[in-house]
Amino acid sequence: MKHMIHITLKGGAVKEFEAPVTPMQIAKSIGEGLYKAVCVAKIDGVVRDLRTPIEKDAQVELLTFDDEEGKRAFWHTASHVMAQAVLHLFPGVNCAIGPAIKDGFYYDFDVEKPFTPEDLEKIEAEMKKIVKQGIPLERFELPPAEALELMKDDPYKVELIEEHSGKGEAISFFKQGDFTDLCAGPHLPDTSRIKAFKLTSTTGAYWRGDSSKQMLCRVYGTAFPKASMLEAHLAAIEEAKRRDHRKLGKELGLFTILDEGPGFPFFLPKGMILKNTLIDYWREIHTKAGYKEISTPIMLNQDLWHRSGHWEHYKDNMYTTVIDDTNFALKPMNCPGGMLVYKTEPHSYRDLPLRMGELGLVHRHELSGALHGLMRVRCFTQDDAHIFMTKEQIKDEIVGVAKLIDDVYSMFGFKYHVELSTMPEDHIGSDEDWEIATNGLIAALQELNKEYVVNEGDGAFYGPKIDFHLEDCLGRTWQCGTIQLDMQMPERFELEYTGADGEKHRPVMIHRVVFGSIERFIGILTEHFAGAFPVWLSPVQAIVLPITDRQHEAAAKIKDQLENAGVRVDLDGRSEKIGYKIREAQLQKIPYMLVIGDKELENGTVSVRSRKGVDLGAMPLDTFIAKIQEEIASRSND
């Protein structure tokens, strides 16, 4: 017998329906626009297919492409459309997996030879036919034995089913026309909703990321509900290519990575100026904030890493060696060395909080396939700091660190958002300590009126953390700053301070970084500014351009005056046309070009041009020096 149920929608509105009702029917009852836009639904907090029958009162949130879960379902469905198209064109190909990823999807195929760009065009054309047909995606389940029989000709699906079959649960599939895939879903109702898509690239990928297993052909793509959205996305990709720090790093002479050291960047002279300028800024703001700088060895014995807990949780990422029959490891992080520094002398409660900063070179073993310019390397300079404090000082210290990070990101013009990560399953320490630590982070965020997202179970093994994700000019986010609260390592290293009561107490510790990695931050800045760094950061801040050889001697004197005024300056004395010299300087992203001709010598001026092509006119050299010194001192981003 039919009965009525109440559906509570996002925002609190309640609608009555005859049971059973599906999210698709709910969307249609609200409006045709929503019905066409909805991708999946969240039913009592669980993301489901739009055709899921709802038999009882429930909270239902209808999710479109604007929602993250909607995007994932959209892109996952697009990956199924691509796989179906591939099997139409290349019968006998084995399909591996095809998940949604950030900004799109991929699918791995076992093929005799990798797909070519021409193949991708053919696949796209076949995908358009499948989309036009509006083929429904229908979910069904089979017992493990029947699932194995259905997928017996595809070894990758068989492997996945066999791993799951031990649980005794039914195996989930999705069928669209003549294509059936092993999949938990959810998916769009049919293929017609994928209005615009593009296959962007192919690459090799080992099955399940294991280099001992079969190399597959991975095809990447993206898809959108509207052609205009796809066009904007592809334009953003092209802009990102133009800003790629690897390309600009080479063109601007900042850094290189050689075959002799994969993942180990070589900084060139101009790159070192940039790096050292950032480090000078780091030292300045940390001195003002009451930090004392230390330096600890990059290699310490294995016993230390056992004591800190890193060996148990991190050994696969560590480089090791043997010295005098003792096992040593290159440090993957600076904190154990900081513990030893704290223990070199006794401390009183009057010494706390004790803030110790370190620009430590750390080494981490990354898989070769994960390496990416300066963004993912095997050694980097971590702008670390460790703050030792009493429990009563936790909130104030976290607030102070968060304000420092905010000052830095704001100075570079970055927006950012905050995420709080809580206790993981693989952790050390008591639940009580974790609760105290987590509450300390929450209290600080509340005092700062910072909105934050909670990542359940994503904390470090020794404590909860706050991560700062900055947003660059292309809208991409990068996790850089972090604040990690730790009650475990002081316990393991038996750190102490003498309290006001004369008794020994255990300090609490904060691990924190601002840049995260100096090298990675340089990569982010390079892409954010497209290599046109603010004047204070630019490796070369001005260049003197004599029009002819007659002005060379005067140009050299001007260069000397600028250098004496603290300006980083070059002189282009080549016998080239001035237009060519200006274009070369603009390609090198040099902020200011000082053109010197007979007229300028006669008037005692320099003609100033900006790298943006703006002619700032002739001015006395002293006027220009005052102008650029002000820009450098203020650390302006203009």
CA distance 519 to 515: 9
Q: DSSP assignment, residue 136?
A: B
User: Has 245 been annotated as catalytic?
Assistant: no
Structure tokens at 119: 């193949």
How many residues would you count in the chain?
Answer: 638
User: Has 465 been annotated as catalytic?
Assistant: yes
Handedness of CA 264, 270, 276, 279 (dihedral sign): negative
Rg (CA), the chain: 30
CA distance 182 to 527: 39
Q: Which of 193, 275, 376, 511 is catalytic?
A: 511
Residue 264 makes CB contacts below 8 A (sequence gap 6+) with: 257, 377, 378, 379
CA distance 476 to 487: 34
Nearest CA to 301 out of 325, 273, 270 is that of 325
Q: Which of 335, 355, 572, 611 is catalytic?
A: 335
State the virtual CA torsion across 384, 475, 106, 181 in degrees, nearest 10.
100
Q: Which amino acid is at 426?
A: D
Q: Which amino acid is at 577?
A: K
User: Has 292 been annotated as catalytic?
Assistant: no
Q: Which of 42, 80, 465, 611 is catalytic?
A: 465
Q: Which of 67, 154, 384, 467 is catalytic?
A: 384
Give the three-class secondary structure for 571.
strand
507: phi > 0 → left, psi -120 to 50 → alpha, else beta; which? Answer: beta
User: Has 384 been annotated as catalytic?
Assistant: yes
Q: Which of 84, 176, 382, 551 is catalytic?
A: 382
Report the DSSP beta bridge partners of residue 140. 173
Q: Which amino acid is at 253?
A: G
User: Has 427 been annotated as catalytic?
Assistant: no
Nearest CA to 278 out of 290, 267, 266, 265 is that of 267
Q: DSSP assignment, residue 423?
A: -
SS (H, E, C) 195-245: CEEEEEEEEEEEHHHCCCCCEEEEEEEEEECCHHHHHHHHHHHHHHHHHCH
620: cis peptide before it, omega within 30°? no
Q: How far is CA 398 from CA 170, 294, 407, 465, 505, in A?
A: 48, 21, 14, 11, 21
CA distance 54 to 563: 75
With 0-12 / 13-18 / 19 or more C-beta atoms within 10 angstroms meaning exposed / middle / buried, residue 351 is middle
Q: Which of 286, 364, 520, 589 is catalytic?
A: 364
Structure tokens at 135: 């083929």
Within 10 A of 363 (CB to CB), how many other CB atoms are there?
21
CA distance 15 to 377: 54
Angle between helices 518-528 and 269-288 (to 10 degrees): 110
Give the three-class secondary structure for 298.
coil
Q: Which of 80, 245, 386, 395 is catalytic?
A: 386
Strand 255-256 vs strand 266-267: parallel, antiparallel, or unpaired?
Answer: antiparallel
Nearest CA to 389 out of 510, 494, 513, 508 is that of 508
CA distance 475 to 318: 33
Show which residues are catalytic.
335, 364, 382, 384, 386, 465, 511
